[in-house]
Amino acid sequence: MTTPRRTPLHAAQQQCHARFMDFHGWELPVQYRGIIAEHLAVRSDAGLFDVSHMGELWVEGAGAAAALQGLLTNDLGRLQVGGVQYTLLCNEAGGTIDDLTVLRPADSAYLLCVNAANTAVDWAWLREHLPEGVAARDASEETALLALQGPRAEALLQPLVAADLTRLRRFHCLETGALGIATLLSRTGYTGEDGFELFLPADSAVLVWDALLETGVRPCGLGARDTLRIEAGFPLHGHELDPRTSPIEAGLKRFVSFDCGPFIGRAALARQAAEGAPRRRIGLRLASRAVARTGYAILRQGLPVGQVTSGAFSPTLQSSIAMGYVESRVAAAGNELAVEIRGKPILAQARPLPFYHAPRA
């Protein structure tokens, strides 16, 4: 048995009565006071997540953009200095090695923020495929990542940071000071709300964590992070995405650019985009409160047509929702499907994603 990995905020989280769970070898808080209360806090107020387990891979230098474009599906040419872009890392077959955000805080500095469970795989892939002379650095160990999410995030964060947050637009980033600590601040998140992600030196993250908690913001765990992202229709690698699932099937075609030059997987994805994928990711809203859990069968007129990849009771919609893959012929929104829960087919309507849109401020 290996020792679980912990973030720099582990002790601070224990003080907040965190309950911990294993997440791909990490010991991380699943909840503090309760998943639903945390979920609702993010939707109506704000919540603070420690996501320091995520990986941070820097690619820098003159050849960085061209080299990265050879690996990523989205058009990196459209990523301005100070911008953030959601993109995917695919294998030759068009399967998804990882999904990630790329931050471009400076002209030739690119930060890939990747899933914790994939950091090692992504890093090995970069090392293998980036040409010599392109500098790459795995900064995951020395970087902490806090996510402050919710409609009050800007108001709560502003007093702690030097930058004027009203001028930082969604999917943009800048380098600033938080309590005087060098911070890469990004207006992004994984909850469907407005919010910020703060990349911090691991050894000073606890100062920012404590200062944010002092504003009254509620600490939130991975449980709420999961229910929030399901409502927002965001895929989670290992559930909606994996090396055998393409961004086309996942409904992420808008993050795949066929005009930006060759990248690994492009031929397979172009073929699939032209021919149509045999299966598609859909949303489901169930007629029962029972939770459609990962791996449950999706049925059409009693016959299996796919599988649930994530499901939750939605605290916002007060109903059971899920995502999954079904044969494309039955994927149209509005279709009456069913999820087999403990041997019984439970009515489930195919729904467009996301389930939840944040109200515009």
Partner 1 sequence: MEFPADLKYSAEHEWARVQNGEATVGITDFAQDELGDVVYVELPAVGSEVAAEATFGVVESVKAVSDLYAPVSGTVVRINEALQEKPELVNTSPYGEGWMIVVRMSRPEELEQLLSVEEYREQIGAKEG
Part in contact with partner 1 (CB under 8 A); list of ranges 31-39, 50-58, 164-172, 187-195: 31-39
Residue of 69, 227, 246, 310 interacting with partner 1 (CB under 8 A): 227
Q: Is 310 in the site for partner 1 (CB under 8 A)?
A: no
Buried b (16+ CB within 10 A) or exposed e, 181-194: bebbbbbbbbbbbb
113: three-class secondary structure by DSSP: strand
* Rounded Cα gap, residues 199 and 182, in angstroms: 9
Residue of 47, 94, 195, 223 interacting with partner 1 (CB under 8 A): 223
Part in contact with partner 1 (CB under 8 A); list of ranges 35-43, 71-79, 90-98, 149-157: 35-43
Encoded amino acid at 116, one letter: A
Q: How far is the CB of 338 from partner 1 (least distance, A)?
A: 16
Binding mask 329-348 for partner 1 (x = CB under 8 A): -------------x------
Contact 188, 197 (CB under 8 A): yes
Q: Is 312 in the site for partner 1 (CB under 8 A)?
A: yes
Contact 31, 20 (CB under 8 A): no
123: three-class secondary structure by DSSP: helix
Q: Is 179 in the site for partner 1 (CB under 8 A)?
A: no
Pull the structure tokens for residue 332.
């149209």
Comparing CB distances to partner 1, the nearer of 129 and 293 is: 293
247: three-class secondary structure by DSSP: coil
| HEC sequence for 86-110 | EEEEECCCCCEEEEEEEEEEECCEE
Q: How far is the CB of 307 from partner 1 (least distance, A)?
A: 17
Q: How far is the CB of 343 from partner 1 (least distance, A)?
A: 11
Part in contact with partner 1 (CB under 8 A); list of ranges 26-34, 166-174, 177-185, 267-275: 26-34
Contact 275, 262 (CB under 8 A): no
Contacting residues toward partner 1, per CB under 8 A: 30-31, 34-37, 223, 227, 288-291, 293, 312-313, 320, 342
